[in-house]
Amino acid sequence: TMKKETKVFQAETKELLNLMVHSIYTHKEIFLRELISNASDATDKLKFKALTDTHILDSSEELCITITPNEELRTLTITDHGIGMTFEEVVENIGTIAKSGSKAFLSSLEEAKKNNDLNIIGQFGVGFYSAFMVADKIILETKSPYSDKGVKWTSTGEGSYEIEEIDKTERGTSITLYLKDNDEDKEFLNEYKIKGLIKKYSDYVKYPIMLKDERINSTKPIWKTPKDELKDEDYNEFYKSTYHDWQDPLLHFNFNVQGNLEYNAILFIPQVPPYDLYTREYKRGLQLYTKNVFIMDKCEELIPQYFNFIKGLVDTDDLSLNISREILQKTQQLKAISKNLEKKIISEFEKLMTNDRDKYIKFWEVFGRHIKFGVHENFGLNKDKLENLLLFKSSKNLDYTSLKEYVDRMKNDQKEIYYAVGENLDILQKMPKVLNVINKGFEVLYLTEGADEFALKTMNTFKEKTFKSVTEVTFETEEEKEEIKKLSEINKSLLDKIKETLKEKVVEIKLNPELGDSSVSLSSKGEVSLEMEKLLSQIPG
Ligand code: ADP
Ligand code: MG
């Protein structure tokens, strides 16, 4: 017997669909990119499975993606021969939005609606639903190699969908869009228009995209295309269609490495963190190809933890094709590439810092803490280089400065690099201890993030200059010290009284001649600043 059911979409999906169905988004055309990228992902998944499950794929089979417009029926069909889906998988993947339960998603959705800003949608991986911007009905037919039946899913995007088992022999998925009856959406049947969209958005999809027996997309993978033939748009479109982002990347790097180690790499820095970057579910890694053949997604051995926000791919001829994941992880080749890549990325950031400071600051404000953790994580080879990437706000114009720039400005009589830790610049600027140092003509670095101080503590010195917290700095002369000693004795009963009142809340009460206009200042005794103590006390265990 064949299962057949009508199911309602979950609440979040309904909201999203509603957004799509009534969308006035001006870039409706991206639905094609989304469907093609799903088809390409599904084909990748099949290939990856086939590495260990060889019977699911005949090595001679050509895995293309086909686009079929039908003027009479007003339908557009996208077909792939990828991994397909079982009944349960369709319910799971198409009926619900992954991670939709998360508050983050809902609040972002609220924001998005308010601003009529659909950018957010791309970040949540709801690409499939974008088809409802142009279609008033969608039929999806699919077959997984792990099920003997096919599945048909039908929906008009309004509240519910039908799902039933069907006879289907061919593995893969075909998605038929019944285009809305208006001139704008009917345009998507036009071959010329479709070709243009494929060229624009999906040119570097690695499987052939066929329209009426003609391959439309480029036959050369993007990393084998000479750099001078590639425009920014090529990188941007490749990035968006491959790495599930709606926005252009902030930066891209294209490395062609020759010599002992040979590989090509194309890397991207997103403008904003991937929505799940700071969750446990996030998996870092680059796509790995060998001899232009896809091996795996998210190969984490290729990129260190602190660069986990970087997207991209590596292609190398030096690996064997029939290699299992377990063996891959141990391959020296990957380690060597990873080390080399890390160096190259660092040096690109260094160049950017000098050549395009504004862009570097953009990067820094989004991903700077990763570099700080990198310094902390990386006692080894690249620590010296990573140090050069650090930026801090400083008392000089409240601008960003690198450590090198700070040191270059140091006065002859200055031995140490001064820093102050506090919640924000406002507070820091008013700290008596900070003013004390500034008034002597020295510059102070303003540390406002927990990771800032961690990084400095790890480094201890920069170019042989020690980091010194302003709370530990005193410019008192011997006579002044004597004077304070006397005053402390005279006022002993007052100081004792204060200590008695505050009890274990403080360790010591001292007279301080360097408070400027303030009457009291709190500081910590010993290695760690008050702010770092606060931070440390929040770490469980
Ligand atoms: P994303 O691609 O970011 O995961 P989509 O909304 O585009 O989000 O797709 C949702 C899910 O539906 C995919 O993760 C995949 O599991 C499934 N899916 C979509 N299209 C296909 C397809 N052509 N073949 C197999 N699975 C698909
Ligand atoms: Mg998708």
The model's pLDDT over 481-535, given as tens digits with 9 standing for 90+, comes to 888 888 888 888 988 898 888 888 888 888 877 776 777 777 766 656 666 566 5
pLDDT at 127: 77
Nearest-CA residue for ligand 1 atom 10 is 93
**Which residues face 294 on adjacent strands?**
289
pLDDT at 323: 56
Ligand 2 centroid to Cα of residue 34, in Å, is 5
Q: Which residue has the tokens 């957004």?
A: 19
Say if residue 173 carries a ligand binding annotation: yes
Two structure tokens written together for 241: 């269609």
- Contacts of residue 257, defined as CB under 8 A and 6 or more positions apart, other chains included, come to 263, 264, 265, 340, 344
Find out whether 203 and 241 touch, Cβ atoms under 8 Å: no
pLDDT tens figures, 208-227: 999 999 999 998 889 999 99
Question: Which of the 8 DSSP states describes residue 223?
Answer: G
Average pLDDT over residues 67-78: 98
Q: Ligand 1: which residues within 6 Å by Cβ? A: 34, 38-39, 41-42, 80, 82-85, 93-94, 125-128, 173, 244
Nearest to 292 by CA among 272, 321, 254: 321
Say if residue 99 carries a ligand binding annotation: yes
Find out whether 62 and 52 touch, Cβ atoms under 8 Å: no
For 259, 301, 318, 319, 481, the CA distances from 328, given in Å and listed in that order, are 22, 9, 12, 9, 65
Ligand 2 centroid to Cα of residue 274, in Å, is 14
Mean residue pLDDT of the chain comes to: 87
- Sign of the torsion angle spanned by Cα atoms 370, 247, 350, 412: negative
- What ipTM was reported for this prediction? 0.99
Average pLDDT over residues 227-243: 92
pLDDT at 370: 94
- Which has more confidence, 513 or 267? 267
Nearest-CA residue for ligand 1 atom 3 is 125
pLDDT band at 60 (very low <50, low <70, confident <90, very high): confident
- Which has more confidence, 477 or 141? 141
pLDDT at 512: 78
pLDDT at 541: 36
Find out whether 121 and 112 touch, Cβ atoms under 8 Å: yes
Find out whether 305 and 284 touch, Cβ atoms under 8 Å: yes
- Which has more confidence, 158 or 418? 418
Nearest to 324 by CA among 51, 58, 55: 51
Say if residue 325 carries a ligand binding annotation: yes
To test the ligand 1 pocket, which listed residue (37, 38, 209) has its Cβ within 8 A of the most ligand atoms? 38
pLDDT at 99: 47
pLDDT band at 318 (very low <50, low <70, confident <90, very high): confident
The SS3 of residue 509 is coil
Average pLDDT over residues 417-430: 93
Q: Indicate the length of the chain as a whole number.
A: 541
Question: Which of the 8 DSSP states describes residue 34?
Answer: H
Nearest-CA residue for ligand 1 atom 4 is 125
Q: How far apart are CA 257 and CA 340, in angstroms?
A: 9
Find out whether 211 and 191 touch, Cβ atoms under 8 Å: yes
Which atom number of ligand 1 is nearest to the Cα of residue 34? 7
Q: How far apart are CA 441 and CA 411, in angstroms?
A: 9
Give me the percent of the chain exceeding a pLDDT of 70: 87
CB neighbours of residue 162 within 10 Å:
14
Find out whether 177 and 135 touch, Cβ atoms under 8 Å: yes
- Contacts of residue 82, defined as CB under 8 A and 6 or more positions apart, other chains included, come to 39, 41, 42, 43, 44, 45, 46, 63, 171, 172, 173
For 57, 333, 532, the CA distances from 527, given in Å and listed in that order, are 61, 42, 10
Residue 268 clears pLDDT 70, i.e. is over it: yes
Q: Which ligand sits nearest to residue 98's alpha carbon?
A: 1
Find which of 108-117, 147-156, 325-334 is predicted with most confidence, using mean pLDDT. 147-156
Find out whether 69 and 191 touch, Cβ atoms under 8 Å: yes
pLDDT at 140: 98
Which atom number of ligand 1 is nearest to the Cα of residue 39? 23
Q: Which helix (H) or strand (E) holds 363?
A: helix 357-377
- Which has more confidence, 62 or 97? 62
Nearest-CA residue for ligand 1 atom 1 is 125
Find which of 207-211, 281-285, 296-300 is predicted with most confidence, using mean pLDDT. 207-211
Nearest-CA residue for ligand 1 atom 8 is 125
pLDDT at 509: 86
Say if residue 125 carries a ligand binding annotation: yes
Helices 191-202 and 232-242, interaxial angle, to 10°? Answer: 90
Say if residue 332 carries a ligand binding annotation: no
pLDDT band at 33 (very low <50, low <70, confident <90, very high): confident
Q: How far apart are CA 530 and CA 123, in angstroms?
A: 38
CB neighbours of residue 535 within 10 Å:
17
pLDDT tens figures, 342-370: 999 999 999 999 999 999 999 999 999 99
Burial readout 197-225 (b: 16 or more C-beta within 10 A, e: otherwise): bbebbbbbbbbebbbeeeebbbeebbbeb
Q: How far apart are CA 389 and CA 147, in angstroms?
A: 52
Q: Which helix (H) or strand (E) holds 140?
A: strand 135-143
Two structure tokens written together for 403: 């450590």
Nearest-CA residue for ligand 1 atom 23 is 39
User: What are the backbone angles phi and psi of residue 85, rounded to the nearest 5°?
Assistant: -145, 145
Residue 144 clears pLDDT 70, i.e. is over it: yes
Ligand 2 centroid to Cα of residue 410, in Å, is 52
Q: Which residue has the tokens 């700095």?
A: 473
**pTM score of the predicted model:** 0.73
Residue 118 clears pLDDT 90, i.e. is over it: no
Find out whether 128 and 143 touch, Cβ atoms under 8 Å: no
Say if residue 436 carries a ligand binding annotation: no
Q: Which ligand sits nearest to residue 40's alpha carbon?
A: 1
Nearest-CA residue for ligand 1 atom 21 is 38
Count CA atoms within 13 Å of residue 229 on its CB side: 8
Q: How far apart are CA 429 and CA 424, in angstroms?
A: 9
To test the ligand 1 pocket, which listed residue (12, 17, 41) has its Cβ within 8 A of the most ligand atoms? 41
Average pLDDT over residues 35-47: 92
